[in-house]
């Protein structure tokens, strides 16, 4: 190894390797020096996913983590992992490897990053434990490039307590399940934006530090802002509506949303990522509702087309039925949902909100009857919606508002907003809201606002429910809840 002699870590070499006299392979393995951008070698590193029979008998260099190692007599088998992909590597005493080199390989810590030169060889029997089943790598050179100080565990499918996983998130994120979950989540964001930009939407950036708590100030985090107090935005709603008042017509944003809610459930976080949409419409809020539903459908289709590998990887650990949806999206009115629930024995008043168990039950009933995991519930009772929700012009107990559900759980809440400052004031008073506290909000409609509607989607919930996972902490890289603020 050119670099091994200069290594700042060379003193760590096992004693046996130092005894170089009888080791004919001593130039072929060792611990490489820290990469400090000293050189720009020509060496090409091949991706593990590209190690297929097309590459049989080629000599390649690969950089990957040591997933497992198993020595047996004159051989050492390594499984080399790169993100969701892994391949078997063999170090065997022979022309290229000495007894000492096999021992060196067997002693490499799991989770070390190694640089390996080897010949790709077709195997006679498929290697069931690896993603690259048709080949293995016959190692000729082996560098331990980055050694972990602590030995990490790639937990695979073992049952590990969720808090332990989250405490050691860097290692937990290396598992193929996590790699797949967060690649798919990146895909959701990409598909959301791609669809909306094609529909003529403009992406906006809204402030997270705000001067007044909207909606009365419950569940809001306080920030020290120089000599004053400020708050963390519970949603970009006011700002996206201001963009509508400012004639942007169709806007979306992706950003953090903060809720100081002391809820310790499988689906609540204190900080999550909101995918928000707001849009001016011509005559009816269904124009907007249908655009949002179509955006969700484009996301589902895109995920099933472009992320099958990721879906299957997650399904191996968390088996789940493929996500089903209809085109166009099923729309039920609230009163229809009530009728279905009552037929199933639930007792509910016309203006009662849905409890979480009833939402779940409704999801099952809808799935049975319509064979879809995604639907819109339209025309919620006015009484259970925020003050800025437009009342239904035909039925004063209903509103122009809707939720959307995936596998029986709410992922989006939306509505036509009141764009008339006079009616907005009336409704705020009806809700007993202090007008002083929402003055800026109401004032932004005084310069002429077009009719508009919108909605907010929780990214982590969409990821969780699309994949059929059971806890939103599995789909937040570094989750925040009332009890967790690290890592």
Residues of span 40-99 touching a second copy by CB under 8 A: 40-41, 43, 45, 63, 65, 82-83
**Among 49, 99, 103, 147, contact with a second copy (rule: CB under 8 A):** 147
Residues 6+ apart with CB under 8 A from 463: 181, 184, 185, 188, 469, 475
Task: Output 249 or 352, the one with its CB closest to a second copy.
Answer: 249
Catalytic residue IDs: 259, 261, 267-268, 410, 413, 461
Q: Does 148 bind a second copy (CB under 8 A)?
A: yes
List binders of a second copy among 365-394 (CB under 8 A): 390-394
Q: DSSP labels for 162-231?
A: HHHHHHTHHHHTTSHHHHHHHHHHHHHHHHHHHHHHHTT-EE----SEESS-GGGGTT--EEEETTEEEE
Residues 6+ apart with CB under 8 A from 437: 212, 213, 216, 217
Write the interaction track for a second copy spanning residues 258-297; mark x where CB under 8 A is met and - where it is not: x-x-x-------xx-x-------xxxxxx-----------
List binders of a second copy among 330-359 (CB under 8 A): none
Angle at 255 between CA 251 and CA 258, to 5 degrees: 120
Q: Does 167 bind a second copy (CB under 8 A)?
A: no
Say how far apart CA 50 and CA 58 lie, in whole Å: 12
**Among 242, 296, 404, 433, contact with a second copy (rule: CB under 8 A):** 242
Tokens of 350: 């016309």
**Among 113, 127, 383, 384, contact with a second copy (rule: CB under 8 A):** 113
Nearest distance from residue 287's CB to a second copy, in Å? 8
Task: Output 108 or 338, the one with its CB closest to a second copy.
Answer: 108
Nearest distance from residue 98's CB to a second copy, in Å? 26
Write the interaction track for a second copy spanning residues 169-188; mark x where CB under 8 A is met and - where it is not: xxx-xx---xx--xx-xx--
Reduced 3-state DSSP string for 366-416: HHHHHCCCEEEEECCEHHHCCCCECECCCCCCEECEEEEEECCEEEEEEEE
Helices 176-198/459-466 angle, 10° precision: 120
Task: Output 341 or 469, the one with its CB closest to a second copy.
Answer: 469
Q: Does 437 bind a second copy (CB under 8 A)?
A: no
Q: Does 150 bind a second copy (CB under 8 A)?
A: yes
Say how far apart CA 163 and CA 304 lie, in whole Å: 31
Say how far apart CA 223 and CA 93 lie, in whole Å: 64
Task: Output 111 or 373, the one with its CB closest to a second copy.
Answer: 111
Q: Does 24 bind a second copy (CB under 8 A)?
A: no
Q: With CB under 8 A, what is the number of residues at the site for a second copy?
A: 109
């Amino acid at each position: 190894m050119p670099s091994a002699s200069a290594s700042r870590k060379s003193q760590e070499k096992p004693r046996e390797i130092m005894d170089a006299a009888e080791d004919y392979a001593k130039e072929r393995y060792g611990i490489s020096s820290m990469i400090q951008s000293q050189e720009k070698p020509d060496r090409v590193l091949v991706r593990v996913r590209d190690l297929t029979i097309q590459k049989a008998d080629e000599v390649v260099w690969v950089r990957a983590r040591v997933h497992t190692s198993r020595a047996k007599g004159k051989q050492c088998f390594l499984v080399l992992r790169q993100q969701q992909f892994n391949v078997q590597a063999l170090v065997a005493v022979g022309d290229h490897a000495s007894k000492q080199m096999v021992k060196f390989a067997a002693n490499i810590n799991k989770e070390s990053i190694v640089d390996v030169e080897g010949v790709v060889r077709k195997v006679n029997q498929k290697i069931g434990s690896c993603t690259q089943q048709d080949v293995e790598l016959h190692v000729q050179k082996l560098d331990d490039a980055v050694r972990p100080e602590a030995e990490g565990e790639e937990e695979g499918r073992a049952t590990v307590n969720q808090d332990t996983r989250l405490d050691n998130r860097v290692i937990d994120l290396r598992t193929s399940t996590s790699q797949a979950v967060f690649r798919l989540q990146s895909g959701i964001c990409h598909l959301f934006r791609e669809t909306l930009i094609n529909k003529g939407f403009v992406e906006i950036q809204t402030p997270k530090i705000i001067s007044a708590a909207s909606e009365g100030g419950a569940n809001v985090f306080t920030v020290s802002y120089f000599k004053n107090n400020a708050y963390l935005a519970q949603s970009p709603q006011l700002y996206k509506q201001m963009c509508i008042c400012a004639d942007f017509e169709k806007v979306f944003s992706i950003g953090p949303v903060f809720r100081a809610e002391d809820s310790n459930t499988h689906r609540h976080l204190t900080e999550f990522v909101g995918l928000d949409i707001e849009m001016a419409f011509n005559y009816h809020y269904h124009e907007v509702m249908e655009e949002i539903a179509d955006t969700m459908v484009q996301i589902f289709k895109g995920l099933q087309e472009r992320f099958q590998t990721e879906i299957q990887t997650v399904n191996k650990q968390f088996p789940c039925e493929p996500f089903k949806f209809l085109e166009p999206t099923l729309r039920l009115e609230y009163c229809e949902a009530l009728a279905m629930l009552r037929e199933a024995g639930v007792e509910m008043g016309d203006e009662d909100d849905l409890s979480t168990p009833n939402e779940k039950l409704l999801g099952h009933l809808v799935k049975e009857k319509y064979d879809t995991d995604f639907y819109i519930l339209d025309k919620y009772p006015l009484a259970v919606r925020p003050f800025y929700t437009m009342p239904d012009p035909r039925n004063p107990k209903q509103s122009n508002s809707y939720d959307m559900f995936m596998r029986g759980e709410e992922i989006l809440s939306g509505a036509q907003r009141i764009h008339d400052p006079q009616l907005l004031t009336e409704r705020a008073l009806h809700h007993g809201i202090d007008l002083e506290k929402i003055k800026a909000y109401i004032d932004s409609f005084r310069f002429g606002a077009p009719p508009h509607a919108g909605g907010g989607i929780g990214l982590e919930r969409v990821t969780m429910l699309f994949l059929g996972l059971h806890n939103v902490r599995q789909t937040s890289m570094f989750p925040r809840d009332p009890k967790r603020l690290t890592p």
